[in-house]
Amino acid sequence: MRQGIACSRRGFARGAMAAGSALLMPAWLRAGSIWPRGKKKPVTAAAPQGATGQDSLRAHAAASGLLYGAAVRPDLLDADGMAAAGTTDGYTQLVGAQCGIVVAENAMKWAALRPSADRFDFAQADKLVRFADLMGQQVRGHNLCWHEALPAWFQSAATKGNAQRLLVEHIQTVAGHFRGRIQSWDVVNEAIEPNDGRPDALRKTPWLDLIGPGYIELAFQTAAQADPAAKLVYNDYGIELDTQEQMVKRGQVLLLARRLKARGIPIHAIGVQSHLQADGPQPGQGLLSFIRELAKIGLDVYITEMDVKTTEPPATPDVEDAAVAKVYADYLTMVLEEPNVPAALTWGLINGQSWLNSQHRNSNGIVQRPLPFDDELKPTPAFFALRSVIDRAYVRAPQAAKPGANPAALPDDLYKPFAVPGSPTGQPAKPESQR
């Protein structure tokens, strides 16, 4: 059966009711009506100019059986205010209104979760998951294994003798902590880099150096055991275009996906980050073929981190916004025609908060306008482009939740930590809160 996403409004209703906060859910979401499957929704002549409630990206995506969402900074969320009776905080309201699914931009990375080798700090990540429960939103986990955002202690503490145990214990503890709450995990992030010159095109990372190529399978197997309900994803960038370099990298990602599937490794989707550009070559047939090849081996494709760098040299804001909106429209129109693309997320909601504008990224001084909302929280042309494409997408069939999704129903012995060589007990390090 094609692995997909359970994205029924009933699922949202259950989620929010379970959190005892049905009243917080948008009225349209409580309605529970689903468009006829496989049909394109009639696009109203005049696209609504509003951007909230029924006019939000969340509402329009849900009506198409799609998941739209964004990367979120839980430190900016007024979760308590929202839990009380609503909040006056603009960012919190925007995230709640626009996202059917959320992902922590940084709060679930090693650097955020692991202040020291023997301590886990889930405070910010828990805040996001609690907020998502309140709002009936699904949650993506990002990410369990990456060569960036490693905590300062890692380099001196990780050795060839303990790295396998470090990785397994991290995944067991983190995926175990959120068990049953995560729609999909980016299990391994950005592990392919053909320019590093290896025949298998693996990026030369600490994980490869310390554990060997098997770290990828180990990560997926551990994640599957720690949270059987989560979809497991390999996530990467620079695989969208038909340039020589990106075609080579995309081909290697496909080979990795095929290898993992052939070896029976639990993987459900490939994340195509989709950090796009308003200028220069645009995604095309090569990406479509890639998506279709993945469908043949039962894998979905998630659009995980969409944003669009503005024109260079810069033009006027209107010209830049129009160029960015066109890329969103063309790109999503193309990929959403493929039935195994159930989710699309932007890497943030508000232009000024984009990583492309943060101090250590925007070295060329150009102010980027890559996202669906401006700094006054008003919808940009990209918002309307995203929404109109979502409206034209055919309606996806809501997927039944994968059997065993309810942790309480799982056999006790399923979650038996790996006996990892070198680990005294094979037990995962207990997060402080559980000590």
Active site residues: 190, 305
Q: Render 35-97 in DSSP notation, one character per residue.
A: PPTTPBPPPPSS--S--SGGGSHHHHHHHTT-EEEEEE-GGG--HHHHHHT----HHHHHHHH
Q: Is 375 in the site for ligand G3I (CB under 6 A)?
A: no
**For ligand G3I, the closer CB: 19 or 223:** 223
Tokens of 6: 């359970």
Q: Is 106 in the site for ligand G3I (CB under 6 A)?
A: yes
Q: Which positions from 164 to 203 touch ligand G3I by CB under 6 A, shown as an x/- string? A: -------------------------x--------------
Q: How far is the CB of 237 from ligand G3I (least distance, A)?
A: 6
Residue span binding ligand G3I (CB under 6 A) among the ranges 33-41, 105-113, 197-205, 244-252:
105-113
Cis peptide bond upstream of 266, omega within 30: no
Q: How far is the CB of 355 from ligand G3I (least distance, A)?
A: 3
Q: Is 210 in the site for ligand G3I (CB under 6 A)?
A: no
Residue span binding ligand G3I (CB under 6 A) among the ranges 101-109, 177-185, 276-284, 329-337:
101-109
**For ligand G3I, the closer CB: 26 or 370:** 370
The phi-psi region of residue 197 (left if phi > 0; otherwise alpha if psi is between -120 and 50; otherwise beta) is: left
Write the single-letter amino acid at 271: G
Q: CA 273, 274, 278 angle in degrees (round to 5)?
A: 155
**For ligand G3I, the closer CB: 115 or 286:** 115
**For ligand G3I, the closer CB: 92 or 273:** 273
Residue 269 to residue 29: CA distance in whole angstroms: 27
Cβ-based neighbours of 393, under 8 Å, separated by 6 or more: 40, 64, 66, 332, 336, 337
Cβ-based neighbours of 115, under 8 Å, separated by 6 or more: 121, 151
Answer for which of 78, 133, 300, 305 binds ligand G3I (CB under 6 A) is 305
**For ligand G3I, the closer CB: 76 or 297:** 76
Residue span binding ligand G3I (CB under 6 A) among the ranges 54-62, 104-112, 287-295, 418-426:
104-112
The residue sitting closest to ligand G3I, measured at its beta carbon, is 355
* Site size toward ligand G3I, by CB under 6 A: 10
Answer for which of 355, 383, 384, 418 binds ligand G3I (CB under 6 A) is 355
Find, among 278, 285, 280, 269, the residue nearest to 306 by Cα. 278
Q: Is 273 in the site for ligand G3I (CB under 6 A)?
A: yes
**For ligand G3I, the closer CB: 15 or 141:** 141
Q: Which positions from 313 to 342 touch ligand G3I by CB under 6 A, shown as an x/- string? A: ------------------------------
Cβ-based neighbours of 412, under 8 Å, separated by 6 or more: none
Tokens of 345: 């997320």
Q: How far is the CB of 304 from ligand G3I (least distance, A)?
A: 8
Find, among 376, 320, 371, the residue nearest to 346 by Cα. 371
Neighbouring CB atoms inside 10 A of 296's CB total 9
Q: How far is the CB of 24 from ligand G3I (least distance, A)?
A: 28
Q: How far is the CB of 144 from ligand G3I (least distance, A)?
A: 12
Residue 205 to residue 338: CA distance in whole angstroms: 33
**For ligand G3I, the closer CB: 237 or 394:** 237
Answer for which of 9, 103, 104, 105 binds ligand G3I (CB under 6 A) is 105
Query: Burial letters for 183-209: b for 16+ Cβ neighbours within 10 Å, e otherwise?
Result: bbbbbbbbbbbbeeeeeebbbebebbe
Q: Which contacts qualify for 286-289: CB closer than 8 Å, 24 or more apart?
A: 286/241, 286/242, 286/246, 286/247, 286/250, 287/239, 287/240, 287/241, 287/242, 287/250, 287/334, 287/335, 288/334, 288/335, 288/338
Burial zone of 84 (CB within 10 Å; 0-12 exposed, 13-18 middle, 19+ buried): exposed
Q: Is 148 in the site for ligand G3I (CB under 6 A)?
A: yes
Rule CB under 6 A: which of 214-253 touch ligand G3I?
237
Q: How far is the CB of 207 from ligand G3I (least distance, A)?
A: 15
Residue 104 to residue 77: CA distance in whole angstroms: 11
**What is the DSSP secondary structure assignment for residue 275, as one 8-state letter?**
E
Residue span binding ligand G3I (CB under 6 A) among the ranges 62-70, 102-110, 173-181, 212-220:
102-110
**For ligand G3I, the closer CB: 227 or 305:** 305
Residues that bind ligand G3I (CB under 6 A): 105-106, 109, 148-149, 189, 237, 273, 305, 355
